[in-house]
């Protein structure tokens, strides 16, 4: 099947008992066992639930994994994956990862003996410099959050395998519709299902999948042992959201391309980060490994002091954390999503205090452009006066 068809009919897309074309919400905690010590396919919903199983089968199929796992949040998925490592192990990760990922490593796993080094993961020379005898994995985001850095995933995975490392890719910004890291050599793929996969800002979820049976067994163990699983209601909502991913992503990126070009030519804007722009330093890499350039943009104003006034004066675009919903969302990473990263580390990675991240929604692009223009011109006028 083509991917847009697979999004709708992949995994377990109908109820095997009744033929219902929407897998039911199995709102149950436990299941009858007919014989002592001989449970059926399901025994307790932390360990397995038919609604969640349908979602897990779908993400595995979409990414090319052997098994999928659904969690109560993206960070719960990352927590379970990082749990496969042992005290003394070392990870290499990108220098502008999501702030929650940094916080989880720094505040939870580092005290337990896991160490990490943050580098510009686009540069193999920096990966080499960070490599130690204890390094066990390369953790990547591409496009990265929030600077939209593009990592050559195939090249990175080859390098990692050469050194006996796992390659873990957070594919939240791209989604499997635009990019499939396992097919490019990665070992584990993560998603915040809250974002584009759900697509409607009405759920919180995390997903993981792998093409390695041994890793799948370990992740499955930690999913059950830690217990941060996704409930059946949100599993159903997330599977429903995925069915429309193709049409939504096409609309997101069509709007994003127009907005990125608009911002690039606006006199109040200093710099725009969007891999679809020809001047983006990794534009060619993105074009090679992605089916499109996505719906995320970051940009800086000429006058950083006007950032708060600008984001607060928008009418159509909502000032809020998160991304990937049908509505456009804007935020300031240094104050919001990446505040947990120390200022000196943020700035060293290029995350300035005035950096703005925009998740371009699927509203009429004329309305988005007008909203941005009005807010930008208002602040230029206020500044000049």
Residues noted as catalytic:
46, 98, 170, 195
Phi, psi at 341, each rounded to 5°: -85, 130
Contact between 372 and 317 (Cβ < 8 Å): yes
Quote the CA–CA distance of 238 and 159 in Å, as a whole number.
Answer: 34
Contact between 95 and 118 (Cβ < 8 Å): yes
Q: Which residues of 352-376 are buried (b: 16+ CB within 10 A; e: fewer)?
A: bebbbbbbbbbbebeebbebbeebb
What are the C-alpha distances in Å from 147 to residues 48, 85, 273, 280? 37, 28, 6, 11
User: Which residue(s) pair with 210 in the sheet?
Assistant: 67, 188
Closest listed residue to residue 248, CA positions, set 318, 324, 339, 320: 324
Contact between 325 and 194 (Cβ < 8 Å): no
């Amino acid at each position: 099947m083509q991917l847009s068809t697979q999004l709708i009919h992949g995994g377990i897309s109908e109820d095997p008992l009744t033929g219902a074309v929407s897998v039911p919400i199995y709102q149950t905690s436990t299941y009858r066992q007919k014989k002592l010590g001989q449970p059926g396919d399901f025994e307790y919903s932390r360990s397995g639930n038919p609604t969640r199983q349908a979602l897990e089968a779908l993400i595995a199929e979409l990414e090319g994994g052997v098994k999928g796992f659904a969690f109560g949040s993206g960070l719960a998925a990352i927590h379970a994956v990082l749990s496969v490592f042992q005290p003394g192990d070392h990870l290499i990760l990108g220098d502008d990862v999501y702030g929650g990922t940094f916080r989880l490593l720094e505040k939870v796993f580092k005290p337990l003996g896991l160490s990490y080094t943050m580098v510009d993961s686009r540069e193999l020379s920096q990966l080499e410099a960070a490599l130690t005898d204890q390094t066990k994995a390369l953790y990547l985001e591409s496009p990265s959050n929030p600077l939209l850095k593009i990592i050559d995933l195939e090249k990175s995975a080859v390098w990692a395998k050469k050194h006996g490392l796992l390659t873990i890719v957070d594919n939240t910004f791209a989604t499997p519709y635009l990019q499939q890291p396992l097919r490019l050599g990665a070992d584990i793929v993560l998603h915040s299902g809250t974002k584009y996969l759900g697509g409607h800002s009405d759920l919180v979820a995390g997903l993981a999948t792998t093409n390695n049976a041994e890793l799948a067994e370990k992740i499955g163990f930690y999913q059950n042992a830690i217990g941060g699983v996704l409930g059946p209601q949100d599993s159903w909502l997330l599977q429903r959201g995925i069915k429309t991913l193709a049409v939504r992503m096409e609309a997101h990126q069509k709007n994003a391309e127009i907005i990125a070009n608009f911002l690039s030519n606006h006199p109040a804007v200093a710099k725009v980060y969007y891999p679809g722009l020809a001047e983006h330093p990794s534009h060619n890499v993105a074009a090679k490994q992605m089916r499109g350039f996505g719906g995320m943009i970051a940009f800086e104003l000429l006058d950083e002091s006007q950032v708060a006034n600008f984001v607060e004066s928008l009418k159509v675009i909502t000032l809020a954390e998160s991304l990937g919903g049908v509505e456009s969302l804007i935020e300031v990473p240094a104050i919001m999503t990446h505040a947990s990263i120390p200022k000196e580390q943020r700035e060293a990675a290029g995350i300035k205090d005035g950096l703005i991240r925009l998740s371009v929604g699927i509203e009429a692009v004329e309305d988005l452009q007008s909203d941005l223009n009005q807010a930008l011109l208002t602040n230029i006028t206020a500044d000049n006066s």
